[in-house]
Amino acid sequence: MSKENIVVVGGCNTDFVLDVAHFPAPGETVVSKSFNTFGGGKGANQGVAAARLGANVTLIARVGNDERGRNSVKFFQSEGIQTDHITFDDDLATGLAMIAVNEKGENTIVVSVGANSRLLPQDIHNAEAAFRSAKAVLLQLEVPLETVTAAVKTAHKHGVAVILNPAPAIPLSAELLSQVDYLTPNETELIALIGNSADADVDAAALELKKSVGTQHLIVTLGSKGAMIAGQPKQIIPAFPVDAVDTTAAGDAFNGGLAVSLAQGKSLADSVRYANAVGAISTTRPGAQPSLPSVLEVERFLRERPSPS
């Protein structure tokens, strides 16, 4: 399997994870059954996912000049990730996330962005050489929007496919979205992108967004239902049924898998199926980065499981 070059731009956090029987209601205190610390952040998770699936990954990120930040960079290096474009901030701490996971494997997340907020367009310009040889650039929204925009423009300058996972959801201009080759919102993020009510129909929202902004490919992740490739007709790629333990990094696993498969020249439908498998495996064990599977695990998983229908 070829090792394609992928650039990942995004957030790097430390996850503090609490296992709870149920999520607290406002004013309620619940007792955690266990506590763990894991590496996290959407950019870091997606970068680790892609590296474990065989890609040559360059991660562009910013961490605090603190123990958590230094340990993160050492970990990325141990995963084979190129870290020359991860910078240290002397004023802000490494980002962190407080995550509660209930007995169904569902989660609630509160993030303190910390040093992620100082990843700047200049950092993209400094890393431009990495874009020249890349097959895909993978982006999220845990860093400043102007930095995401700079990465999109740099990718287009060098003819590199742009994959944008619009999470966490914020308003995005039609101009930016029109330059995205693959847009991968979940259902909530899709509704936020069109500025519609929370009870809007997902199919209609997907068609509206695709028509209004001109994004070439729109893939909506549907959790346990799989993923939808929007269009007329739409195409549903079913999820692989598994016993979920922790869904924290499932979306990041999906995006990492999608980027690697597309970079290898696979079709969109095959790439979404591959991404579904990567995401499914990640839900079967706790933590964000610890849950991300290797390429051999995914290959074995796909051999042993027939395509879901």
Asked whether residue 123 is assigned to any structural domain, the reply reads: yes
Residues facing residue 40 across a β-bridge: 13
| Domain encompassing residue 95 | 5-20+36-304
Q: For residues 208 and 167, what is the distance between their CA atoms, to the nearest angstrom?
A: 19
Asked whether residue 28 is assigned to any structural domain, the reply reads: no
Give the strand order in the sheet containing 86-89. Answer: 86-89, 56-64, 5-9, 136-139, 161-164, 182-183, 217-221, 227-229, 235-237
The pLDDT assigned to 197 comes to 60
Q: Is the pLDDT of residue 201 over 90?
A: no
User: Residue 72 contacts by C-beta under 8 Å, 6 or more apart in sequence?
Assistant: 12, 14, 39, 44, 63, 94
Asked whether residue 27 is assigned to any structural domain, the reply reads: no
Q: Are strands 227-229 and 217-221 parallel, antiparallel or unpaired?
A: antiparallel
Predicted confidence band at 175 (pLDDT cuts at 50, 70, 90)?
very high
Q: Is the pLDDT of residue 198 over 80?
A: no
The pLDDT assigned to 232 comes to 80
The average pLDDT across 53-68 equals 98
Predicted confidence band at 178 (pLDDT cuts at 50, 70, 90)?
very high
Digit-coded pLDDT (tens) for 209-266: 888 887 789 999 999 899 999 988 899 999 999 998 888 889 999 999 999 999 999 9
Cβ(108)–Cβ(99) under 8 Å?
yes
The average pLDDT across 165-176 equals 92
Q: DSSP string covering 54-108, please?
A: T-EEEEEEEEESSHHHHHHHHHHHHTT-B-TTEEEESSSPPEEEEEEE-TTS-EE
Q: What is the mean pLDDT of the chain?
A: 93
Q: Is 243 a catalytic residue?
A: no
> Among residues of the chain, what percentage have pLDDT more than 70?
97
Asked whether residue 68 is assigned to any structural domain, the reply reads: yes
Q: Give the CATH number, domain containing residue 112.
A: 3.40.1190.20
Q: DSSP string covering 238-253, please?
A: PPPP---S--TTHHHH
Asked whether residue 26 is assigned to any structural domain, the reply reads: no
The average pLDDT across 267-279 equals 97
The pLDDT assigned to 213 comes to 81
Asked whether residue 138 is assigned to any structural domain, the reply reads: yes
Question: From the candidates 66, 181, 246, 252, which is the catalytic residue?
Answer: 252
Digit-coded pLDDT (tens) for 47-57: 999 999 999 99
Asked whether residue 25 is assigned to any structural domain, the reply reads: no
Digit-coded pLDDT (tens) for 84-122: 999 999 999 999 989 898 988 888 889 899 999 999 999
State how many domains the chain has. 1
Asked whether residue 236 is assigned to any structural domain, the reply reads: yes
Cβ(41)–Cβ(11) under 8 Å?
yes
Q: How far is CA 248 from the centre of its chain?
A: 11
